Amino acid sequence: MATWKMLSFQDSVSPIMEQLIMFHDHTMMILTMITITVLYMLTSMMFNKLNNRMLLEGQMIELIWTLMPAMMLIIIALPSLKILYLLEEMNKPMITLKAIGHQWYWSYEYSDFKKIEMDSYMKQTNSINEMEYRLLEVDNRIMLPYNMKTRILVTSFDVIHSWTIPSLGIKIDGSPGRINQGSILLMRPGLYYGQCSEICGSNHSFMPIMMESINTKSFISWIKNFN
């Protein structure tokens, strides 16, 4: 989860987030090289006394400064397109989870199991335990097994919401009358936090998302004991 003075991304827990972090580092390396080069050239032009009053054109340098940015854009665009396709990839999911946004809480349905529905409200400050996080804890967590492909369907009951968990690299808008989908593949157990990322009203900041990643045996046991 995000902490104070965190300058980097949260630790990735899905292959998609790993790809996004690698793409970010790749792009920042290129931008840093371009920035340093431009600053060096500007500094050099400001402090040297070289000039050429008779210079009218330089076709070779114009060709170079046209081709180089085009090549840089291609180098950035190719991995970006790859990640876009990975985000939309949906290959035989084993579990389907439906998230419905309300003002101001989330409700969930496990479509593959009967009568697995729950509302997830933020815990009030006076009801959280010592080791829990204020404004992030919920009364009913999402339970999902790791190393199992899951399809997430997101919609809304009233206004536009956005179902977001940064460590999974997933952000899906929930619009009334429309169902958007995404894929989840958790790689390890743990607790992962998110929040609604669309300004949806006065209590927008108080509808957190909390997901617990567990092993398959524990997940089956949770399903059997669900009330």
Residue 113 confidence (pLDDT) above 90: no
Looking at residue 217, what is its pLDDT?
A: 92
DSSP tag of 135: T
Nearest in space to 165 (alpha carbons), one of 12, 18, 53: 12
Domain boundaries of the chain, sorted by first residue: 15-47+59-88, 95-225
pTM of the model: 0.82
Looking at residue 227, what is its pLDDT?
A: 64
Q: Token pair for residue 122?
A: 């933020």
Looking at residue 189, what is its pLDDT?
A: 93
Please tell me the total number of residues recorded for the chain in this structure.
Answer: 227
Q: Which residues contact 154 (CB under 8 A, 6 or more apart)?
A: 98, 99, 100, 101, 161, 163, 172, 173, 174, 179, 180, 181, 182
Residue 54 confidence (pLDDT) above 80: no
How many other C-beta atoms lie within 10 A of the C-beta of residue 143? 19
Looking at residue 146, what is its pLDDT?
A: 93
Which amino acid makes up residue 74? I
Nearest in space to 219 (alpha carbons), one of 101, 94, 90, 132: 94
Average pLDDT in the 128-148 region?
89
Q: How far apart are CA 183 and CA 186, in angstroms?
A: 10
Residue 218 CA, chain-centre distance (Å), reads 26
pLDDT, one tens digit per residue, over 9-53 is 888 899 999 999 999 999 999 999 999 999 998 898 888 877 777
Which CATH number fits the domain 95-225, given the four candidates 2.60.40.420, 1.20.1050.90, 3.40.50.300, 3.30.70.1050? Answer: 2.60.40.420
